[in-house]
Structure 1
Amino acid sequence: MSEAPQTPGQLDHHVEGHVGYVTFNNPAKFNAVNYDMWCALPIAMRALADNPQVRLIVLQGAGEKAFVSGADISQFNTHRNGDASTHYNEATQAGYAAVLDCTKPTLAKIRGICMGGGLGLAINCDMRMASADSKFRMPAGRLGLGYAFEGIKRFTEVVGTANTADLFFSARIFGADEALRIGLLKQMAPAEAFEEIVNAYVQMVCENAPLTLAAAKRTLLEIRKNPHEQDLAGVQAMVDACFTSEDYKEGRKAFAEKRTPQFQGK
């Protein structure tokens, strides 16, 4: 295991086994994301995506009170006002894109508050799991903020047009049970069992063949593109590589021997 030091007010990332963790570490402000954290997010995502040991990337908030409560509003006057807002918006969009376009599977581990920019980050992950006491909100309408086309488009992909309209038009707070019902969450778990349930799922994913995971993720990325931009040949090449891999031999052998396969990613 290699772990980065945990520094309040910053974004940290580290690796445990086959799992890469990105931690929004600003608990005094319910893990609100400041400008420096937005700028650090693409760097952290790239480092974990490029690490051959990593099979899954988990985004999480420090502590138990919040995943991410949104953008750090204390910076609105300095970073989201006038000309400075252009640089801030570019940093946030780069952060969202780094999560959405990541070549490794991603999971948002949501505990507590998940609102505004936090909900935007979670929606850009492949999967979302939350504790039953989590609270969600998209408060842009209460702040007078415009939301970018790609951001709203992503919401419609996950929860549909009608639910997206409701979340943005009402700016209301809703619970994990509703988030599960509308398809925002893959799973909701009791707060007292949340860590155990998430860890079991993470372990299940990481036991699978890295080349298969990579090919499936590449397919999901290409599906989101316009048909004339899709690299179907590239996807097929990754699928073909699975069938000629040592892992495929190991998978068949392990299945016949009724044991857990030991994949090496080659």
Structure 2
Amino acid sequence: MTEQNFPPAWAPDQTFAEGRIGLTIRDSIATLAVQIPKKMNALDVHATRGMVEALEAAQASARVLMFTGVGGKAFISGADIGGFDDEKQQGSSFLDRQQVLADYPIPTIAVIRGYCIGGGLMTALNCDFRLAGTDASFGIPAAKLGIAYGFDGLSRLVELAGPARTRFLLYSGDRVDAQIALAWGLVEQLHTPDALWDAAMALARRIAENAPLSISATKETVAQIMCDPEQRDMQKIADLSMLCQNSADFREGRDAFREKRAPAFSGN
């Protein structure tokens, strides 16, 4: 697969933010792509707004969302700083839009080739899973730009990579390659560039075929577990478990198991 053909045969059904963001939905799998290859998919304020609009458009009919960048040279190379000059309180607005992705109710998979830098790494970390090509590289050049990342910007990185590795990335501003990113827990899987998309799509299909209510309950329960104990909503976890137990999908899963066939889940 050439860089120009990543994602393969990409032709978005919808575009947002004057073409900066593309979206397709096929067989309950949404693909959201940043498509600003001339700027290495750097995010400006319009792109982040378009990202939120695309997420909202996909939510009603998708069971899983793949997040990527077109062209193969960059997932997202960071924030286009100049592109935020026309918006007040730049940092909070960017973080607010990132929080929409972090709180997204359906599973999200970041599919990463090339540069995954700064705000791009934050975007990837706000997805549930990260699958990367062996050509990917990761870093946060904040110290080289005089930028300070706040609590929300760094908490997920510390959670996955640990405080020492977070300090290394932030203090040095250096990039690390895909093998180091895998060892540090920044990504879950590595694949050759030619195999990456098929591997990500296979994972998305497996998730989409499973019971949506069960997956939604798992996503929310894991999020509650990661909260501070005093902030956890234990009743919400219990309610989600009961919702699954009383669902048509639970009955379908049980019947399919007994009948030795693949279940057909409806999300009800």
TM-score relative to the length of structure 2: 0.90
> Equivalent residue for 2:25?
15
1:5 deviation in Å? 3.9
1:171 deviation in Å? 1.1
1:18 deviation in Å? 1.1
> Equivalent residue for 1:33?
43
User: Quick one: structure 1 residues 237 and 191, their matched pair in 2 at CA, closer, same or farther if it must change by over 3 Å?
Assistant: same
**Alpha-carbon distance between aligned partners in 2 of 1:75 and 1:262, rounded to the nearest angstrom:** 45
For the Cα contact (< 8 Å) 2:15–2:21, is it kept in 1? Answer: no
Residues 44-63 of structure 1 mapped to structure 2, 5 A cutoff? 44-49=54-59, 51=60, 53-63=61-71
> Equivalent residue for 2:120?
118
For the Cα contact (< 8 Å) 1:109–1:130, is it kept in 2? Answer: yes
What is the SS of the residue equivalent to 1:90?
helix
1:7 deviation in Å? 7.5
1:200 paired to 2:163: no
For the Cα contact (< 8 Å) 2:17–2:46, is it kept in 1? Answer: no
> Equivalent residue for 1:150?
152
Residues 107-186 of structure 1 mapped to structure 2, 5 A cutoff? 107-186=109-188
**Residues matched between the structures, number:** 257
In structure 2, the gaps of 5 or more residues are 1-11
> C-alpha deviations, 1:46-91, integer Å up to 9, x for none?
3323x1x311111111121111011114436x34xxxx551x2222
For the Cα contact (< 8 Å) 2:138–2:175, is it kept in 1? Answer: yes
What is the SS of the residue equivalent to 1:174?
strand
**Alpha-carbon distance between aligned partners in 2 of 1:150 and 1:204, rounded to the nearest angstrom:** 31
For the Cα contact (< 8 Å) 2:213–2:267, is it kept in 1? Answer: yes
1:241 deviation in Å? 1.1
> C-alpha deviations, 1:176-227, integer Å up to 9, x for none?
1111111111100111111111111111111110000110111122223332
**Cα RMSD (Å):** 1.8
**Alpha-carbon distance between aligned partners in 1 of 2:82 and 2:207, rounded to the nearest angstrom:** 38
Structure 2 residue identity aligned to 1:70: G
TM-score relative to the length of structure 1: 0.90
